[in-house]
Chain A
Amino acid sequence: MHLSPDEIIFWQYGFFKLNATIVYTWGLMGVLVAGSILVTRKLSMGLQRTRWQNLLEIVVGGIAKQIEEVGLRQPRHYLGFIGTLFLFVASAALFTIVPGYEPPTGSLSTTAALAICVFVAVPLFGISENGPAEYFREYLQPTFIMLPFNIISELSRTLALAVRLFGNMMSGTMILAILLTITPYIFPIALSVLGLLTGMVQAYIFSILATVYIAAAAHAREPKIEPDTTIKHEPR
C-alpha cells in the first residue's frame, strides 16, 4: 500500500529518480498534447466543425468564461496558466478509471509543485498588471502592522491549496484500494464514480481559487472582495 505514487520508483541515479508521479504526469502531458494536436491539426474556421473540435471549444471557452466571471477582464491573458491547471488536475482525476493508474495529483509533491506555481504566479500577474510598488503596497494594508499577517495568509493559502488537492485525490484512490480489499464488487464502482465527481470538483476548486488569488492581486486597487461563487466551494 503506497500513500503516494512518489514511492513507486522506476529508476534512480543519486538525486535523480523516475517515480510513478513523474511518469504518469508525462503520460498525461502526452495524452493532452497529442489530443490537442490531433484535434487542432485540422481546425475548421467555418460553421461546420468536428465533435472533438466542438468539445475543445466548449472546454476552452468555458474556462475563459469562468475566468472572466471571477473578474479578470482579459481572460486570454490568464487562460494558459489557469486553463492548464484545470485540465491537468481534471484529467489526472479522470484517468483514475484506468486500472493501475495512480493520479499524480495524489502525490503531495505534485500538488505542492502546483501550489508553488500559483504562489509564484500570483505576484507575477499582480506586478505585470499594476506594477511592483502598487502590488507590494497591498501587503501594508490597512496598516503596516498587517504585513506579517498578510504574508502568513499568502503562505497558508498556498499550503491549503496543496494539501486540499492532495488529500482529496489521495483519499479517493486510498478509499478505493481499501474498499477493493473489503467489498470487492459493486461498492468500489459507486465510490469510483464519486471519486470522479470529487476529482472534477477539486479541479474546479483548485483552478478557481488560483483565479481568485490572481484576480485579487491584479485588482489591488479595488477592495479585496472574493466573489460569492468561489467562497461556496472553498471548504473541502
Chain B
Amino acid sequence: MLIDWFTVVAQVVNFLILVWLLKRFLYKPILDAIDAREKRIAKELADAAAKMSDAEKMHDEFQRKNAEFEQQREALLSKATEEAQTERQRLLDEARQTADTLLTKRQQAMRNDAQNLHQELGRVTQREVFAIARKALADLTDASLEQRMVEAFMHRLREMDEQSNADMAHALQTATEPALVRSAFDLTELQRAVIQKALSETFSADISIRFEAAPNLISGIELIANGQKLAWSVADYLASLESAVNDLLKVKN
C-alpha cells in the first residue's frame, strides 16, 4: 500500500502548521516591508512631484522676476540714457550759450576797447588840435586883432535879426544888474566907448555895462544880459568845431 494513512494525517497537520508558520514569519513581514517601501516610494514620489512643482513655481517666479528686473533695468537704462542725453544737450547748450555770451562779451569788450581807443585818440587829437589852435590864436592876438574883434562884434550886433534883437532888448531892459561884456583881453577906453555907443544905438536905450576880462574865451568878445547872450569868439568856433568832430566820431563808432 503506497498510502500510509497515519502519514497522510501527519502531513496534513505538518502542512497546516507550515502554513501558519510561514504566514507568521514569511508572508506577513515581507508583505509589510513591501507595503512600507511602496508607501515610502509613493510618498517620496509625491514629495518629489511637490518639490518639482515648487521648483517649477519658483523657477517661473524667478523668470518672471528676472524679466521684470530686466525690463526695469532696461527702462532705467533708457531713462538714464535719455536723461544723460538731455543733460548733455543742456550742458552743450549752456556751454554754447556761455561761449556765445563770452564771445559776444569779448567782441563787445574789443569793440568797446576799439571805440575807447578811437574816442581817446579823437579826444587827444581834438585836444591837441584845439590846444595848437588856441596857442596859435593866443600867440597871434594883439591890439590890431582885438580891434578887428571889436569890429566883428559890432558887425554882429548890427546884423542881428529882428527876433534876437527884440529878445536882447527885452533882456537888457528888464535886467536888474548891468549887462556884462566879457572879452579875452582888457578893452581900451575907446573900445569900451564904441561898444557902449553901439549898444545904445542898436537898442535905443541907455544901457549900463560892466566890462570883464576872460582869458578862456581865447580871443573874442561877448555880451551877456539876463540870460541872453550875444558873442563872437574863437572859443565859440572851436566849440562848434569840437561838437561837429564829436558828432562825426559818434557816427563812425
The interface of chain A, by Cβ under 8 A from chain B, is 3-4, 6, 15-17, 19, 21-22, 25-26, 29, 32-33, 36-37, 40, 43-47, 49, 53, 56-57, 60-61, 64, 76, 79-81, 83-84, 87-88, 104, 107-110, 112-114, 116-117, 166
A166 to B7, CA, bound (A): 14
The answer, among A21, A60, A112, for a CB contact under 8 Å with B31, is A60
18 more A-B residue pairs beyond the given contacts A57-B34, A79-B27, with a C-beta to C-beta distance below 8 A: A15-B6, A17-B7, A22-B7, A29-B14, A29-B17, A29-B21, A32-B22, A36-B25, A46-B37, A46-B40, A47-B40, A60-B30, A76-B27, A107-B7, A109-B2, A113-B7, A113-B14, A117-B12
A223 to B174, CA, bound (A): 166
- Inter-chain contact count A-B, CB under 8 Å? 127
Given the known inter-chain contacts A33-B22, A109-B7, please indicate yes or no for A47 contacting B16, CB distance below 8 A: no
Q: Give the 8 A-B residue pairs with the shortest CB-CB distance, closest first.
A: A113-B11, A109-B7, A36-B26, A40-B29, A45-B36, A36-B25, A80-B23, A108-B2
A53 touches B33 (CB 8 A): yes
Residue B8 at the chain A interface, CB threshold 8 Å: yes
Size range of the interface on B? 20 to 34
B125 to chain A: closest CB distance in Å?
119
B11 touches A21 (CB 8 A): yes
The answer, among A49, A61, A81, for a CB contact under 8 Å with B19, is A81
Residues in A with CB closer than 8 Å to B31 are 60, 64, 76, 79
Chain B residue, CB-CB nearest to A116: B12
A83 touches B27 (CB 8 A): yes
Residues in A with CB closer than 8 Å to B6 are 15-17
B15 touches A117 (CB 8 A): yes
Chain B residue, CB-CB nearest to A12: B6
29 A-B pairs in the complex with CB atoms less than 8 angstroms apart: A3-B2, A6-B2, A15-B6, A22-B11, A22-B14, A25-B11, A29-B17, A32-B18, A32-B21, A32-B22, A33-B25, A36-B21, A40-B25, A47-B37, A56-B30, A57-B34, A60-B30, A60-B31, A76-B27, A80-B19, A83-B22, A87-B22, A88-B18, A107-B4, A110-B11, A112-B3, A113-B10, A113-B15, A117-B15
Given the known inter-chain contacts A40-B26, A45-B36, A108-B3, please indicate yes or no for A84 contacting B8, CB distance below 8 A: no
Residues in B with CB closer than 8 Å to A116 are 8, 12
A198 to B33, CA, bound (A): 32
Residues in A with CB closer than 8 Å to B10 are 22, 113
A83 to chain B: closest CB distance in Å?
6
B128 to chain A: closest CB distance in Å?
123
Chain B residue, CB-CB nearest to A107: B7
Residues in A with CB closer than 8 Å to B33 are 40, 43-45, 49, 53, 57
Chain A residue, CB-CB nearest to B25: A36
B29 touches A109 (CB 8 A): no
Residues in A with CB closer than 8 Å to B2 are 3-4, 6, 108-109, 166
A117 touches B16 (CB 8 A): yes
A81 to B20, CA, bound (A): 9
